[in-house]
């Protein structure tokens, strides 16, 4: 079973009402908290339908961005790594999720304080851990995480994420063990050598943050060309409305930690 796209469990966290003041790179409309909550429910239900057990943690009002649980930890089979999210308002999210990880995993590692890293900057394939340096993820984050993951058979691949991209995975997602859906901007870095790339169609860069779970590729609604491209390439595609997450720079991958037990 490919460990990069087959999962038995996810951990998610309900969006807080304070999500309306979530971080965003450009000023814009606040998300509607009630609509966010219903879109989040639909997201969890769709993932349940793909045969996954869903653990939903309570909302944390003190952390407006804590629904984006992917940034606070990296989860693999048998082990989890608590991160230090790189934005100051998110720094405590790792500590907040640690008790859950201690219950769910045999081994839990914690990155040292000087190593900042958002899980959104990490793309795991079966063999590689792509780690994008960004405003949130520093050199120490890269080296500490790749050292830990090397114990589990992953090769760390350091990527300089282009400045215009918030998180590495804002611009890419794994379609299967060897194929990455990526924006032309990220693909142009040459980071994905050895992998097949499908590029997001023109004007649809925001579609790149897909997740593949047990044979279903989840994509955000509103990207017809991408949906057509992936369907024609033979993938089973399900689209989900992520309009409210998008208002605070979030997408599909950010709202779950996916792993197998």
Q: Which stretch binds ligand CIR (CB under 6 A): 41-49, 92-100, 163-171, 211-219?
A: 163-171
CA distance 162 to 132: 9
CA distance 181 to 191: 13
Q: 40, 75, 167, 172: which one is catalytic?
A: 167
254 a catalytic residue: yes
- Nearer to ligand CIR by C-beta: 65 or 176? 65
- Which residues is 213 bridged to in the sheet? 216
What's the Cα-to-Cα distance from 62 to each of 17, 19, 92, 230, 233, rounded to whole Å?
A: 10, 10, 10, 39, 43
State which residue has the least CB distance to ligand CIR: 120
Please give the DSSP secondary-structure letter assigned to residue 164.
T
Q: Which stretch binds ligand CIR (CB under 6 A): 21-29, 149-157, 220-228, 231-239?
A: 21-29
Check binding of 120 to ligand CIR (CB under 6 A).
Answer: yes
Check binding of 250 to ligand CIR (CB under 6 A).
Answer: yes
Check binding of 65 to ligand CIR (CB under 6 A).
Answer: yes
Residues 6+ away with beta carbon under 8 Å from 243 = 35, 39, 221, 222
- Position among 93, 176, 244, 249 found at the interface with ligand CIR (CB under 6 A): 249
- CA proximity to 18, closest of 43, 37, 44: 37
Q: Which stretch binds ligand CIR (CB under 6 A): 5-13, 36-44, 63-71, 103-111?
A: 63-71
What's the Cα-to-Cα distance from 36 to each of 117, 243, 244, rounded to whole Å?
A: 25, 8, 5
40 a catalytic residue: no
Check binding of 165 to ligand CIR (CB under 6 A).
Answer: no
- Nearer to ligand CIR by C-beta: 54 or 87? 87
Q: Provide, rounded to whole angstroms, the least separation between the CB of residue 234 and ligand CIR.
A: 27
Which two tokens mark 118?
């958002």
Check binding of 87 to ligand CIR (CB under 6 A).
Answer: yes
Element of type H or E holding 43: helix 33-49
* Residues designated catalytic: 167, 254
Q: Give contact residues for ligand CIR (rule: CB under 6 A).
A: 22-24, 65, 68, 70-71, 87, 90, 120, 167, 169-170, 248-251, 254
């Amino acid at each position: 079973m490919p460990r990069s796209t087959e999962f038995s469990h996810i951990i998610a966290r309900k969006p807080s009402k304070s999500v309306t003041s979530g971080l965003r790179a450009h000023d814009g409309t606040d998300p509607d908290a009630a609509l966010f909550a219903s879109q989040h429910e639909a997201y969890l239900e769709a993932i349940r339908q793909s045969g996954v057990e869903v653990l939903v943690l309570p909302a944390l009002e003190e952390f407006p961005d804590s629904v984006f649980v992917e940034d606070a930890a990296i989860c693999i089979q048998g082990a989890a790594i608590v991160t230090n999210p790189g934005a100051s308002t998110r720094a405590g999210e790792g500590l907040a999720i640690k008790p859950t990880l201690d219950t769910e995993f045999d081994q839990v590692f914690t990155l040292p304080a000087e190593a900042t890293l958002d899980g959104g900057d990490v793309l795991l394939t079966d063999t590689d851990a792509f780690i994008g340096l960004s405003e949130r993820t520093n050199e120490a984050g890269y080296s500490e995480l790749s050292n830990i993951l090397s114990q589990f058979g992953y090769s760390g691949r350091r990527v300089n994420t282009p400045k215009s991209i918030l998180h590495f995975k804002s611009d890419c997602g794994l379609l299967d063990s060897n194929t990455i859906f990526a924006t032309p901007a990220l693909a142009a870095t040459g980071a994905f050598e050895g992998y097949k790339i499908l590029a997001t169609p023109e004007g649809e860069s925001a579609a790149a943050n897909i997740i593949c779970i047990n044979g279903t590729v989840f994509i955000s609604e509103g990207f017809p060309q991408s949906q057509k491209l992936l369907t024609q390439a033979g993938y089973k595609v399900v689209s989900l409305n992520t309009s409210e997450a998008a208002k605070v720079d979030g997408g599909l991958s950010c709202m779950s930690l996916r792993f197998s037990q």
